[in-house]
Structure 1
Amino acid sequence: MNVIKAKQCSSCGTNFGCGDTLEGTRCWCNDFPPIFVPTKAIDCLCPKCFKESCSDKIEEYVKTLTQETVLHNKVTSLPKSNNLIEGIDYYLENGNYVFKAFFHLKRGSCCSNGCRHCPYNLNPKKTN
């Protein structure tokens, strides 16, 4: 029997269940990119706050990239995952998937399709 740990979000105070169990089941948060450094100041975040915080950290990181650093960014060295996370890897617009910069960074190179959030095209050529 898997017993889910009861937690309270350290950001919004919402009660939620942590998926880590004594039997070794992994928490839902393990599906997200490992970009957080554990600290004693913050405990777990609920799924909503965790996704928002993760997305914010990714956007902050993307803003630091330059032409020199984008090709050798630390995202390509993260563990590979086949799971796409809405709000992290993509968002939906009029029923279409729009891939975010993090999705492109995980791939490691530009696909040359003119993607809206391509991080590799930091200085796009202006056309009239």
Structure 2
Amino acid sequence: MNAIKVKQCSNCGTHFNCGDSAPKKKCWCNDFPPIFNLSEGGDCLCPACFKNSCSIKIEEYVATITPETALDNKAKDLPKTTNLIEGIDYYLENGNYVFKAWFHLKRGNCCGNGCRHCPY
């Protein structure tokens, strides 16, 4: 277990806790998809900046996907997580969850329900 460190976001300057908080409890950043190295984003980022950086990187990736390339996408090979992240996996519309293309790409195939953001 790593000790909690107070760090300063290399993007906005906000102070935040970084590190494992308890045995078997990983750092908050482990809930996010492992899609970039810290060297690309500077030192650690605060939760808001980290989420924003992930969202940008994911949207850039999703923009390259076509129905022809969706089945062979890289997102389906990432470690599976049970935590969905608002703004990355879904957004809320009139109290309903609307799953984004990233969520569908992680699943790896079309469910056949005619989803609004289905990349397949």
With structure 2 as the length reference, what TM-score do the two structures score? 0.89
The CA deviation at 1:96 is 0.6
Residue correspondence of structure 1 range 50-89 to structure 2 within 5 A: 50-89=50-89
Change (3 A) 1:41 1:91: closer
Q: Is the Cα–Cα contact under 8 Å of residues 19 and 25 in structure 1 kept in the other structure?
A: no
Q: CA–CA distance in 1 between the matches of 2:100 and 2:62?
A: 10
* Aligned counterpart, 1:4: 4
Over the matched positions of the two proteins, sequence identity in percent amounts to 73
- Does 1:47 find its partner at 2:14? no
Query: Structure 1 residues 110 and 25 mapped into 2: Cα distance closer, same or farther (>3 Å)?
Result: closer
Gaps spanning 5+ residues in structure 2: where? Answer: none
* Moved beyond 4 Å, runs of 4+: none
User: Number of paired residues?
Assistant: 119
Residue of structure 2 equivalent to 1:27: 27
| 1:91 matches 2:91 | yes
1:70, 1:119 within 8 Å by CA — same for their partners in 2? yes
**Residue in 2 that maps onto 1:110:** 110
Distance (Å, rounded) in 2 between the aligned partners of 1:65 and 1:35: 16
Do the aligned partners of residues 24 and 106 (structure 1) sit closer, same or farther apart at CA in structure 2, a change above 3 Å counting?
Answer: closer
Q: Where do 5+ consecutive residues of structure 1 fail to align?
A: 121-128
Secondary structure at the counterpart of residue 30 of structure 2: helix
How far apart, in 1, do the equivalents of 2:48 and 2:116 lie? 25
Q: Deviations over 1:27-82 (max 9, x none)?
A: 10011000012317600111011111101110100011123321110001000111
Q: 3-state DSSP class of the match of 1:92?
A: strand
**CA RMSD for the aligned pairs?**
2.1
Q: Partner of 1:81: helix, strand, or coil?
A: coil
Partner of 1:16, secondary structure, is: strand
Question: What residue identity is the alignment partner of 1:5?
Answer: K
Q: Distance in 1 between matches of 2:90 and 2:20?
A: 26
